[in-house]
């Protein structure tokens, strides 16, 4: 494997068994097994954290083999638009708990999954957000010269178009040390001054991330008012090389200000930035993490951040999931905030935001970010011998699980909640041969999950010096996804397939002497 493939990641770790690495059964099914597609009936809602898998894509486009840590499941899911049923629950936040049971697209073993999706009847055009104090901390170290800084300048200028009168923007740059370029300027009234400041950005020196973040937070804290939103955006193309470089100190800083209501969004540029630090800062800072793979991505990211992630629709969100008596929970995907066990658990999300994309059928033109994503719970049916002593009724056998969502309305401060129960029409241990779905949206979610699991497993196998098995995984996945797309045209999945094919090409080019192996069973317990 080429040394450059893992240059932005920690040293290879002790490998876990594949069963422990990928315990969720990502699934697929025959084309005629899904129900009719529900038309989009509300605006999707997404959580903070990673909003793309751009770094993984860029490594593949460069002809290289990605390290498994470059693929973030939340970011991957966020680049998929899932059209949920109408948001007609009578609340501003509607939870859709959709069920499916089908065979996976790598080895065919069967699994049961509950897909949790969120949307809202709120029309973004009518949503009035409070004025914004936005503090940008931009890396202008020497490594930003040329294309990276030019792309950032274009993105910042595009961002100005989407700010509103009354907003205030502060621009902090950092290299060896941080420097405040402009303070609290109105993007409309002071547009010319801001454009000049952006155009004057020039690269020099080392990378003092901590100082840039510290100065940005100081200015943000000074502007905090109850009637205004306050947010910091940190952009970097490298690892910290000056000042305080300890990730724990940076994370502590971000977490402390998040408790004061100041969210943090982080943006990585190029392949050499510290992905773990930047992603971790966004997670503890109650914000988002993006990767800029090209100039078009810069424009997309800065626009997406202003339009959808600056004003929450729900706060202090809690999603409680309880399995039906015939099932046990095995794994939750799409969030790192789950706490629980075999009978269910609790997911805590600080805030939910509007998703930027409106329909899964729309062609991909401005980029895939803003899909909203999903949370998926994999379930295992209890064995017939374990079910027999329970003497469950028909209704109890049919119950797959129950989901309750609680949240705080940011406009009224009231605590709200809704509960949904999922039932299946089949014996838990004998799903229909052609699969079962409560809606076609679940089928896309399963395919999305299969592709994620295939990418992750192939990257791990390649790192573990078993590229033949990696090719086997991706080859099986490629055939199944191609067949699925023939009957289910979908821009997101079609774009995913191009990267499955590119991954295979990269493995074959770099490791031509390795025989293709039969795909391993990633989920033997299923």
Point out the least confidently predicted range of 145-159, 288-302, 504-518: 504-518
User: Do 336 and 280 share a structural domain?
Assistant: no
Tokens 């949503």 -> residue? 127
* CB proximity list for 411: less than 8 A, separation 6 or greater: none
pTM: 0.80
291 forms beta bridges with 268
Domain count, the chain: 2
Q: H or E segment at 288?
A: strand 288-292
Q: Which residues form the domain of 292?
A: 128-308
CB–CB of 250/244 below 8 Å?
yes
Contact 511, 461 (CB under 8 A): no
Among 70-79, 227-236, 276-285, 398-407, where is mean pLDDT lowest?
A: 276-285
In a domain, 14, yes or no: yes
- Are 271 and 59 in contact by the 8 Å Cβ rule? The answer is yes
- From first CA to last CA, the distance across the chain in angstroms is 32
Residues 210, 267, single domain; the answer is yes
Same domain membership, residue 140 and residue 90: no
Q: What is the DSSP letter of 187?
A: T
The residue behind tokens 């191609």 is 482
Query: Considering the domain boundaries, does residue 59 fall inside one?
Result: yes
Please give the Cα distance from 287 to 118 (Å, whole number): 18
Sign of CA dihedral 473, 478, 479, 485: positive
Residue 453 lies in a domain: yes
Separation between Cα atoms, residue 220 and residue 138, nearest integer Å:
15
Residue whose pair of structure tokens reads 């920690």 in the numeric block: 10
* Residue 515 belongs to some domain of the structure: no
- Give the contacts of 110 (CB within 8 A, at least 6 positions apart): 25, 27, 101, 102, 103, 104, 431, 526
Q: At 282, phi and psi to the nearest 5? A: -65, -40
Q: Could you tell me whether strands 49-50 and 288-292 are parallel, antiparallel, or unpaired per DSSP bridges?
A: parallel
Whether residues 152 and 53 share a domain: the answer is no
CATH code of the domain in which 209 resides = 3.40.50.410
Which is higher by pLDDT, 470 or 148?
470
Half-sphere exposure of 336 (CA within 13 A, CB side): 13
Average pLDDT over residues 41-46: 80
Cα of 409 vs its chain's centroid, Å:
23
- Per the domain annotation, does 44 fall within a domain? no
For residues 88 and 107, membership in a common domain is answered with yes
The pLDDT of residue 308 is 63
Q: Which of 175-184, 221-230, 512-521 has the highest mean pLDDT?
A: 175-184
pLDDT in tens, 282-310: 888 778 888 887 767 877 788 776 766 55
- Integer Cα distance of 298 and 292 in angstroms: 6
| Mean per-residue pLDDT, 386-408 | 92
Contact at 8 Å (CB) between 282 and 265?
Answer: yes
Burial class (CB in 10 A: 0-12, 13-18, 19+), 384: exposed
Position 15 confidence tier, pLDDT thresholds 50, 70, 90: very low
Please state, in angstroms and rounded to a whole number, the distance separating the CA atoms of residues 24 and 452: 11
Q: What is the mean pLDDT of residues 323-352?
A: 91
Greater pLDDT, 286 or 319: 319
Residues 121 and 133 in one domain: no
Same domain, 191 and 270: yes
Instruction: Tell me: do 144 and 293 sit in the same domain.
Output: yes
Percent with pLDDT over 90 in the chain: 40
Look at the block and give the residue holding tokens 């605590």: 415
Lowest-confidence pick of 45-59, 225-239, 357-371: 357-371
- pLDDT of amino acid 284: 80
Q: Which of 214-223, 229-238, 349-358 is most confident?
A: 214-223
Same domain, 347 and 413: yes
Which of residues 250, 280, 308 is at a domain's end? 308
Strand segments, DSSP code E, in 342-392 are 344-354, 375-381
């Amino acid at each position: 494997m080429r040394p450059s493939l893992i240059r932005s990641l920690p040293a290879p770790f002790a490998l876990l068994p594949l069963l422990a690495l990928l315990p969720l059964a990502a699934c697929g099914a025959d084309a005629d097994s899904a129900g009719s597609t529900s038309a989009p009936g509300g605006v999707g809602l997404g959580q903070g954290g990673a909003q793309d898998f751009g770094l993984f894509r860029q490594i593949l486009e460069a002809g290289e083999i990605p390290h498994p840590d470059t693929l973030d499941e939340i970011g991957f899911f966020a680049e998929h638009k899932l059209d949920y049923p109408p948001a007609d629950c009578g609340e501003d936040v509607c939870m859709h708990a959709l069920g499916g049971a089908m065979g996976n697209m790598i080895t065919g073993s069967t699994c049961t999954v509950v897909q949790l999706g969120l949307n809202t009847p709120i029309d973004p055009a009518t949503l009035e957000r409070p004025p914004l104090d936005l503090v940008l901390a931009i890396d202008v170290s020497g490594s930003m010269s040329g294309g990276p800084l030019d792309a950032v300048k274009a993105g910042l200028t595009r961002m100005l178009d989407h700010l509103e009168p009354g907003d205030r923007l502060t621009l902090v740059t950092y290299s060896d040390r941080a420097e405040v370029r402009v303070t609290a300027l109105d993007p409309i009234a002071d547009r010319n001054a801001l454009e000049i400041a952006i155009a004057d950005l020039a690269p020099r020196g080392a990378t003092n991330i901590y100082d840039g973040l510290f100065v940005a937070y100081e200015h943000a804290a000074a502007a905090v008012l109850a009637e205004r939103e306050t947010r910091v955006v940190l952009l970097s193309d490298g690892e910290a090389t000056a000042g305080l470089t300890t990730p724990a100190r940076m994370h502590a800083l971000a977490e402390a200000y998040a408790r004061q209501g100041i969210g943090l969004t982080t943006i990585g540029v190029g392949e050499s930035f510290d992905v773990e630090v930047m992603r971790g800062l966004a997670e503890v800072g109650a914000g988002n993490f993006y990767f800029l793979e090209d100039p078009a991505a810069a424009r997309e990211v800065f626009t997406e951040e202003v339009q959808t992630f600056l004003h929450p629709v729900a706060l202090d969100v809690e999603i409680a999931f309880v399995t039906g008596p015939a099932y046990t929970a095995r794994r939750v995907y799409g969030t790192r905030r789950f706490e629980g066990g075999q009978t269910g658990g609790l997911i805590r999300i600080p805030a939910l935001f509007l998703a930027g994309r409106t329909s899964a059928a729309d062609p991909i033109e401005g980029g895939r970010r803003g899909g909203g994503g999903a949370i998926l719970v994999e379930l295992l049916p209890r064995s017939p011998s374990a079910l027999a002593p329970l003497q469950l009724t028909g209704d109890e056998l049919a119950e797959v699980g129950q989901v309750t969502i609680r949240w705080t309305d940011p406009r009224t401060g009231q605590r709200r909640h809704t509960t949904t129960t999922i039932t299946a029409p089949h014996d838990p241990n004998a799903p229909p041969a052609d699969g079962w779905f409560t809606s076609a949206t679940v089928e896309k979610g399963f395919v999305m999950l299969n592709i994620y699991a295939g990418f992750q497993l192939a990257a791990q196998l390649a790192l573990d010096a078993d590229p033949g098995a990696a090719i086997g995984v991706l080859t099986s996945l490629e055939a199944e996804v191609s067949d699925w797309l023939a009957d289910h045209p979908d821009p997101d999945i079609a774009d995913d397939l191009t990267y499955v094919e590119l991954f295979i090409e990269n493995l074959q080019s770099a490791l031509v002497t390795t025989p293709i192996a039969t795909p391993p069973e990633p989920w033997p317990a299923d």
